[in-house]
Structure 1
Amino acid sequence: MAGSGDAAKEYIAGSAAGVAQVVVGHPFDTVKVKLQAHNTKAHRKLYKNASHCTSRILVEEGIRGLYKGASSSFVGIALESSLFFGTYAHAKQLLQGKYEDGKPQLQVIIPSAACSGALISCILTPTELIKCRMQVQGKDAMHATWYSSPLDCAVKTLQSEGVRGIFRGGLATLFREAIGNAFFFCSYEYSRYWMHSYTDSPRFAGNSNLILAKDVGIGIISGGISGMAFWTTTLPLDVAKTIIQTDPSPLSSRNPLRVLSMVYRRAGLAGCYAGLGPTLARAFPANAAAIVAWEYSAKVLGIRGS
């Protein structure tokens, strides 16, 4: 069992992963959110595709438009990743004592990942609501309320909708995180295990540069694959969450399955997977960066080897 010092280091390494993920992935996320909010309406698509959406943002708002809502993401994702990776590591450690084997164990990974995902959904719901509401604003806001900053968005949401409003989309976020992170960590653990099995070689022994290059390469590939597994599995739930959180009507449904059914009737299967292109384009580099930052930080802090 890790001591309190190692526990604190796990959370620090998780925070580093979150910061890396936002830096690399936020522009892709902005495009995804705009497509989900504006391209799921019947007979009306504001953007032709992800490239058109990106060019519109750059022309109308500049590079800052792609990082709109990023400040709330940095705070939310740093805290979320800290809890996410730290909770997963400790839950896995507790369960792993029952299954002494070097190979990844589904009976360890799935409950650890689902538990961690369910926990962070409580943090992600309000931070993503603020982020999404900031992101869907263009120069001409389509919503009745204009938000000048993430803090202004949080305050106005609380004033108009109360605490319940700031947690709008919580059920969709819970489903997305619990299910998606089980797929994420299964993909990560198994791909990492097999890549290490095939690349472990005496030629790496004693050569720190080769070991670092190998570990970074494995981190990039396993992180990228895991991120794509997460989003391929859960994107429809994310579409529902975005619609629930950005719909200006306080009377709109908050049931993700009902919202998805409505989207399917209006825009078909393509509507349920709105934003798939930028989401997968973001998933590989953003999650690769997160995993490399997590593993490297853990190694620097002395809580894990290769």
Structure 2
Amino acid sequence: MPIPGPNELPLYSGTYDCAKKTVTKEGIRGLYKGMGAPLSGVAPIFAISFFGYSVGKKLQQSFPDEKLSTLQLFYAGAFSGIFTTAIMAPGERIKCLLQIQHADAKPKYSGPLDCAKQLYREGGLRSIYKGTCATLLRGIYTICKKLNID
């Protein structure tokens, strides 16, 4: 949400006001703007997540059936987060950029592919992967919650 200037009211007064204004201006599809990029990566993300978790466990085991401690399971989950971030980070960045565009202004990006192309033109791969550290930390946290590691 943009920061209001001096003597200006915020664009939205809360969550419900934001949803109502979005649906009014853009229709129900406005609530799902920018979701194509992350949805296209869901299947590969989970496949890579399980692969990374398996590799993380195997790296810590002396023999195949060795039972791992909670901390070792945490490390395996964190290790899998590194793998998934390579796919998640660009999709998350594109989704966020598409979602912050205002319906009443001329949008900078016409869709996920246009957004990716413009980001690449502006700053190369570094621009596309901006925010990767935050995405990595979120991925590690999510995996650990799925494994019931607190």
TM-score by length of 1: 0.42
Question: Residue 98 of structure 2 contacts residue 112 of structure 2 at CA under 8 Å; is this kept in 1?
Answer: yes
Match of 2:131 in 1: 169
Take 2:37 and 2:147, find their aligned partners in 1: how far apart are those partners? 29
Q: Is the 8 A contact 2:25 2:103 kept in 1?
A: yes
Opposite residue 98 of structure 1, the aligned amino acid is: E
Find the counterpart in structure 2 of residue 110 from structure 1. 74
Number of aligned residues: 145
Letter in 2 for 1:52: D
1:46 shift after superposition = 2.7
Asked if 1 retains the 8 angstrom alpha-carbon contact of 2:4 and 2:11, the reply is no
Q: What corresponds to 1:97 in structure 2?
A: 65
Secondary structure at the aligned position of 1:138 is classed as coil
Mapped contact 1:114–1:181 kept (Cα < 8 A): no
2:47 aligned with 1:82, yes or no? yes
Deviation, structure 1 residue 186: 3.6
Residue 53 of structure 1: how far off its partner (Å): 1.3
| Gap change, CA 1:138 and 1:111, over 3 Å in 2 | same
Deviating 4+ runs (over 6 angstroms): 39-44
Aligned 8 A contact 2:38 2:88 in 1: no
Considering fraction of residues, name the structure with more helix: 1
Q: Which of residues 18, 40, 49 is equivalent to 2:14?
A: 49
RMSD: 2.8
Cα distance between partner residues in 2 of 1:39 and 1:157: 21
Identical-residue share of aligned pairs (%): 32
Note the C-alpha offset of 1:76. 2.0
Note the C-alpha offset of 1:40. 6.7
Aligned match of 1:68? 33
* 2:75 counterpart letter in structure 1: P
Residues 163/93 of structure 1: CA separation in 2 closer, same or farther (3 Å cut): closer
CA–CA separation in structure 1 for the residues paired with 2:118 and 2:65 = 48
> Which whole-Å CA distance do the structure 1 matches of 2:115 and 2:57 have between them?
37
